[in-house]
Structure formats: C-alpha cells, structure tokens
C-alpha cells in the first residue's frame, strides 16, 4: 500500500486561504468516502480535523473544510491564522480494514 | 475524559523485540477499535494495524506482517503492540489511536523506540 501523495509544503499570509491536495487511487481515496485529515504540531500527537471527507468534529473551527473529487481529496484552510502553522496529513480507508496516510504537508504562515 | 496513556521510551539493539502499551480510560474500552501508527524522525505517519477490543481480532499492514503482534487486556483496558526483529529503520515514535465513527479521534502521547547498537 503506497502512501497518498501530498505536496511537501504550502504557505500563505494571515487571512489568506490555502488548499492541500491528497492524491490516491480508486482503491483508497476514490473508492470510499472515508478520508480524514490530521493536524500535527512539532512534538505533539496528531489531532483530527476532518473526517468522512468533509465533516468537522466539534471544536474544530469552520475555517477548515474538506472535499473530494475522484481520487483526490483536499483540505482548505480559510482565513489562515498563525496557529494553523503545522504539518497536515490525510488518511484514507483502503479496504479490508486497512488505512493509508498521506506523505504530509507543512503549512507555513508567512 | 478520554485518555490514552502509553508506556515510556525504549532503547533496543538490532534484532531485539519491543512491546509498547497503551492504557485507555474515560470510555467503554470494548466499544472501540484501537490502531497503531508510527512516525520515523522527520517523516510522515504510517499505519501499522488495528486490534478489536472484544475478540482481539487483528489486521496488520502488509509491511509489518510476521513482525508485529497486537494484543489487548480487557481487564485493564490496555492494548499492546510488540515489534520483533528490530532494525535501525524501526526507530520511530509509536502512537496508539482510538478509532470512532469520526476517524482517529483520540491519540496516545507517543512512545519513542530507538534501535541502536
């Protein structure tokens, strides 16, 4: 099972929007609506930000949104804030009770 | 409140085995599957496998089959992940993560396993 492909880094100024892509195959991202996104600050455990492609857990700001088209899922952060600077990982169900993570994207707030 | 508390850091020699524990509290242990995810230094997250809390059924990532064993003790609400035949590439932080209908919603604090001669 190969890791899902994410851009290594994206950046934006405070208040701007950034979008992170997550490309897989029809066996994972494209085959199921079970894509989730995680935020990870240095030295910390990951935090769930989006699940089932576009749903937000309680407590996650509505600046974070998710979508999917074909084999590619996306996470958009609107109104970028300094505290959004972190690594972001997508994760997809890959069938037979297995999961696969993305390669990770570093978001930098300029 | 939900908590997953993992065992402390380990240093192992190549070829040895390591067993990491993850003690759950604040919820009904038998209602949720527990997954293990690892992260090598400066690298991304890697899914290792999952254990069912009731019957203890397991599914492992193909990469780790034959080297990893996940078990659980319902009496103490603890899951374990044992990795054998350790090599330097296994140096990583190992996380347990609870799986709910909402994804991996709670994570342990991570356990650093260092493999070095």
Q: What is the DSSP string of B10-38?
A: EEE-TT--EEEEEEEESS-GGGSEEEEEE
Interface test with B, best of A33, A97, A105 (most B CBs within 10 A): A97
Q: What's the mean per-residue pLDDT of chain B? A: 97
Of the candidates B35, B44, B102, which has its C-beta nearest A89's C-beta?
B44
- Nearest to B115, CA basis, from B8, B16, B7, B21: B16
Share of chain A above pLDDT 70, in %: 100
Question: B100: which strand partners?
Answer: B103
Q: What angle do CA A104, A60, B99 make, to 5 degrees?
A: 65
Q: Is A36 exposed, middle or buried (0-12, 13-18, 19+ CB in 10 A)?
A: buried
Residue A53 tokens, joined: 């492609």
Residues 18 to 77 of B: which have CB under 8 A from any A CB?
35, 37, 44-47, 50, 59, 61-63
B62-90 residues labelled b (16+ CB within 10 A) or e (exposed):
eebeebbbbebeeeebbbbbebeebeeeb
What's the start-to-end Cα distance of chain A, in Å? 35
Q: How confident is the model at residue A38 (pLDDT cuts 50, 70, 90)?
A: very high
Q: How confident is the model at residue A72 (pLDDT cuts 50, 70, 90)?
A: very high
Look at residue A105 in the predicted model and tell me its pLDDT. 98
Mean pLDDT along residues B63-85: 97
Based on C-alpha coordinates, what's the Rg of chain B? 13
Mean pLDDT along residues A98-105: 98
């Amino acid at each position: 099972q190969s890791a899902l492909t994410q851009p290594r880094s994206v950046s934006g100024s405070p208040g701007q929007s950034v979008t992170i892509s997550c490309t897989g195959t029809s066996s994972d991202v494209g085959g199921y609506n079970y894509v989730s996104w995680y935020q990870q600050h240095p030295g910390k455990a990951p935090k769930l930000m989006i699940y089932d492609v576009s749903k937000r857990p309680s407590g996650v700001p509505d600046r974070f949104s998710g979508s999917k088209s074909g084999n590619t899922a996306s996470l958009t952060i609107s109104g970028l804030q300094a505290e959004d600077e972190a690594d972001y990982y997508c994760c997809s169900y890959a069938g037979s009770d297995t999961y696969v993570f993305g390669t990770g994207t570093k978001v930098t707030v300029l | 409140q939900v908590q997953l508390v993992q065992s402390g850091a380990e240093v192992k020699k190549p070829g040895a085995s390591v067993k990491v524990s993850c003690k759950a509290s604040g919820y009904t242990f038998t209602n949720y599957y527990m997954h293990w995810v690892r992260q090598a230094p400066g690298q991304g997250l890697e899914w290792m496998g999952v254990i069912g809390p009731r019957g203890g059924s397991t599914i492992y990532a193909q990469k780790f089959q034959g080297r990893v064993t996940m078990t659980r003790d319902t009496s103490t609400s603890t899951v374990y992940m044992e990795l054998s035949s350790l090599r330097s590439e296994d140096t990583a932080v190992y996380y347990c993560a609870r799986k709910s209908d909402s994804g991996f919603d709670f994570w342990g604090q991570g356990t650093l396993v260092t493999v070095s001669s």
